Amino acid sequence: MSYAQPFHDRDGVIWYDGKMVPWREAKLHVLTHSLHYAGAVFEGLKSYNGKIFKLREHTERFFRSAELLDYSIPYTMDQIDEACKATITENKLTNAYLRPVAWRGTEMMAIGGKGTTIHVAIASWESSSYYGEEIRTRGLKMHLSRWARPAPNTIPCAAKASGLYMICTMSKQEAEAQGFEDALMLDYRGLIAEATGANFFMFLNKGTELHTPSPECFLNGITRLTVMELAKQAGYKVVERHIKPEELADAEEVFLTGTAYEIMPVGQIGDYKYPVGANTQKLMDLYSKAVGRDVKAAAA
């Protein structure tokens, strides 16, 4: 995905350490601790028709991610919720993507980072489809990454933290260089984990069962939890378990879930091919309703 306008050079405002600042002035110094030592935590949210989907859940994860990296967000959850709402109001957005981020500042340029000020910013911009309509219709082409999601005792893997994304960026770039659109990562045990910015699901047993890996070393996505609930309500048997890569041969339909991806059908993983089937389509419609988007408008 490429953007017409670089992110530093746009109109609008960004909430920065408690105040709205003009977009182009929302800067930080090169000797920012978290730029060097991977200490930023962030969120990705979407608003639909002016309402932010699962706002409090994202704010809670934002605070949890910071705690997992041994610092605290210096605001209350209510203040962050209000700041998120204010950025979309001030930027006159209804269907927006929001990006809260927190980081350790410049007081110390050494690993410990003790005494660094914690900064917080929230940006928002017009949301666009993470992948275009053509890919959404035929399903994503995925590469099997050579990078593994790390063990829980090597990194705080339940945090949405910048350091965890290095492998995702490398996997995605490698996939794109080889003509794919995204990458599926296995974990440190060789089990199926997740995509570079989304969780993994597959239908089995003539479309009656929806299987997804247990989130033991990757993000237990808010969309993932929403879709599991929707699938249960729709009568599917939902199974969380260890899934081996060989099982990709038996999958009937495959899709990914994430705030940006929403429900993204997968058409191919390596040599395996999948249809964009009726069960995935049904969950896509249910998700569109759940987030408050008009299904007919989305299809138009």
Radius of gyration of the chain, Cα coordinates, nearest whole angstrom: 19
Nearest to 132 by CA among 294, 287, 264: 264
What Cα–Cα distance (Å) separates residue 117 from each residue in 39, 70, 101?
12, 13, 14
Handedness of CA 204, 205, 207, 211 (dihedral sign): negative
The C-alpha atoms of residue 10 and residue 87 are separated, in whole angstroms, by 14
144 near ligand PLP, rule: CB under 6 A: no
From 73, 198, 230, 243, residue interacting with ligand PLP (rule: CB under 6 A): 198
Least separation in angstroms between CB 9 and ligand PLP:
25
Task: Identify the active-site residue in 46, 54, 85, 160.
Answer: 160
CA distance 62 to 31: 24
Contact between residue 240 and residue 212 where contact means Cβ atoms under 8 Å apart: yes
114/242 with CB nearer ligand PLP:
242
Could you say whether residue 194 binds ligand PLP (CB under 6 A)? Answer: yes
Q: Which range binds ligand PLP by CB under 6 A, 7-15, 126-134, 254-262, 280-288?
A: 254-262
Instruction: Name the DSSP letter for residue 55.
Output: H
What's the min distance (Å) between Cβ of 156 and ligand PLP? Answer: 13
- Cβ atoms of residues 90 and 13 within 8 Å: yes
Q: Pattern 22-51, binding to ligand PLP, x per CB under 6 A?
A: ----------------------x-------
265 binds ligand PLP (CB under 6 A): no
Q: Is residue 87 within the footprint of ligand PLP (CB under 6 A)?
A: no
Task: Provide φ and ψ at 51, rounded to 5°.
Answer: -110, 130
State which of residues 32, 212, 223, 288 lies at the interface with ligand PLP (CB under 6 A): 223
Which of residues 113 and 197 has its CB atom nearest to ligand PLP in the complex? 197
The residue among 272, 248, 142, 116 whose CA lies nearest residue 197 is 142
CB nearer to ligand PLP: give 13 or 98.
98
- What's the DSSP call for residue 151? P
Whether 160 sits among the annotated catalytic residues: the reply is: yes
Q: Based on the shown chain and the rule CB under 6 A, indicate whether residue 199 belongs to the binding site for ligand PLP.
A: yes
Per CB under 6 A, residues contacting ligand PLP are 44, 168, 194, 197-199, 218-219, 221-224, 257-259
| Active-site amino acid positions | 160
